[in-house]
């Protein structure tokens, strides 16, 4: 991918110091897969607590 970017920059006459390849982007959007089940469990606990609170009026 970097080679394609460099080639395009050369074709359009863009100097190497005038562009930067964003290496931080993949890490900025990375979500750890082990984090998703934790969020799901927390949401289920909140939903169950809400259901118990709403429907427990006997």
| Residues 26, 29, 30: CA angle, nearest 5 degrees | 80
How far is the C-alpha of 1 from the C-alpha of 21, rounded, in Å?
10
C-alpha 42/C-alpha 36 separation (Å) is 10
Residue 21, token pair as written in the block: 């390849």
Contact 37, 51 (CB under 8 A): no
What pLDDT, in 10s, does the model give residues 16-54?
889 888 877 766 677 778 888 999 999 999 999 999 999
Q: What pTM value is reported for the model?
A: 0.47
CB 14 within 8 A of CB 30: no
What pLDDT sits at residue 26?
65
């Amino acid at each position: 991918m970097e080679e394609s970017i460099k080639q395009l920059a050369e074709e359009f006459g863009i100097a190497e110091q005038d562009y930067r390849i964003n290496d931080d982007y993949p890490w900025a959007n990375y979500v750890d897969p082990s984090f998703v089940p934790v969020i799901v469990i927390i949401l289920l606990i909140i939903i169950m607590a809400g259901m118990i609170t709403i429907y427990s009026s006997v």
